[in-house]
Structure 1
Amino acid sequence: MNYFQPLALFFLAGLCEIGGGYLVWRWLKADQPVWTGLLGVLLLAAYGWVATLQATSFGKTYAVYGGVFIVMSIAWAWYFDGFRPDRFDVIGGVVCFVGIGIILFWPRA
């Protein structure tokens, strides 16, 4: 089984969704220019398209992506907003990654 492709697509989807939401947030909350919000909207639309490239069903794709989104959001906040994750944030992220692995890669009978 190829593990890299679905994980890369989930990562790309996360960048599109979180990055797009962040740009819209900056436009509306931090007085950034309108092009910032427009770029954010384009990234959010790209997120919807990237998610369709997954080989799994809609429900399974979004279930796995939920865990990816949680971990990437914590990392984004740490890098861009100066949020310092504590041990419970890290433990929660690890639990999410374990869940992602079980849902996406556990052998089915």
Structure 2
Amino acid sequence: MLKTLAVFFLAGLCEIGGGYLMWQWLKSGRPGWTGLVGALLLALYGWVATWQPTSFGKTYAVYGAIFILMSLAWAAYFDGFRPDRFDVYGGVIILLGIAVVLFWPRL
């Protein structure tokens, strides 16, 4: 279970970090190497996601939920975004959904 969550977390860091660097390059006038590193991280994200043992569809469904949570955390840490109570409620609901899809016992 921990390996599965660690791979999702690593994939999230690659995708969100890569997207953030591309954003900084294109929207904030950062140097070209920022965009290059962002592009490399985005490519790495695609590779890291394949490390999951589940099917493509299930992997991306769960990852989508993790992406939402990590994006809120990234925005709070790097952009000064302050989640309100509805962001927190939504995050809790998403965590419950991840638990059901990924870890609920199957018959």
Structure 1 segment 68-83 matched on structure 2, within 5 A: 68-83=66-81
How far is 1:41 from its partner? 0.3
Q: In 2, Cα distance between the equivalents of 1:91 and 1:108? A: 27
Contiguous gaps of at least 5 residues in structure 1: none
How far is 1:62 from its partner? 0.2
Is 1:21 matched up with 2:36?
no
* Deviation >6 Å, runs of 4+: none
Aligned residues: 107
Q: Secondary structure at the match of 1:54?
A: coil
Q: In 2, Cα distance between the equivalents of 1:40 and 1:95? A: 30
The one-letter amino acid of 1:26's match is Q
Equivalent in the alignment of 1:66? 64
The one-letter amino acid of 1:37's match is G
Percent sequence identity is: 72
What is the TM-score normalised by the length of structure 1? 0.97
Q: In 2, Cα distance between the equivalents of 1:38 and 1:98? A: 36
Q: In 2, Cα distance between the equivalents of 1:16 and 1:95? A: 24
Equivalent in the alignment of 1:89? 87
- RMSD over aligned Cα, in angstroms? 0.4
Q: In 2, Cα distance between the equivalents of 1:14 and 1:67? A: 10
The C-alpha deviation readout for 1:46-96, integer Å capped at 9, x for no partner, is 000000000000000000001000000000000000000000001101111
Contiguous gaps of at least 5 residues in structure 2: none
What is the TM-score normalised by the length of structure 2? 0.99
